[in-house]
Amino acid sequence: MAQTIVAPKLGNFISWPGQVEGLADQTTTTANFAPTNAFVNVTVQIAQKTFVAGTGTALPRYRIQVADDSAFTTNARTIGTAYAERADNSHIMLTGMCLDGAKDNVRIVPVLDGTDTVTFDSVMACS
């Protein structure tokens, strides 16, 4: 049975139970998400709730990382990157495809410049 995820500012995307993970109030690399089934495609919606400017000058960016193991040491890959605004309430959607075969683990990695900090919510859907 398919599950539709509503992303008000970014549209809808579809996955199935056990393949979707929502995370609230993240400030660093998210915990590993291991969907029920191996996946090839990942779609991520990120709502950057707060941005606190520090010494950085570059835009914050978010990466989708995938791997065959939960420690992200075997066949780890970055399959998608997107930039957010240096502001509160910035919304982005990024997608990625595992070109070297199905993976079992996924996480979101925020990359910040200097002492900048963010708080974000996210939804990951894997298929």
Q: Model confidence over 10-65: pLDDT tens digits?
A: 455 555 667 888 888 999 888 889 988 888 999 999 999 999 999 999 999 999 99
What pLDDT, on the 0 to 100 scale, is given for residue 83? 94
Which domains are assigned to the chain? 18-126 (2.60.120.1110)
What pLDDT, on the 0 to 100 scale, is given for residue 31? 85
Q: Give the pTM.
A: 0.84
Q: Tell me which H or E stretch contains 77.
A: strand 77-83
Q: How far apart are CA 5 and CA 79, in angstroms?
A: 21
Q: How far is CA 39 from CA 36, 43, 52, 70, in A?
A: 9, 11, 34, 14
| Pairing assessment for the beta strands 117-126 and 105-111 based on DSSP bridges | unpaired
Instruction: Tell me 89's DSSP state.
Output: S
Instruction: Tell me 2's DSSP state.
Output: -
Q: What is the pLDDT of residues 82-94, one digit of tens each?
A: 999 999 988 999 9
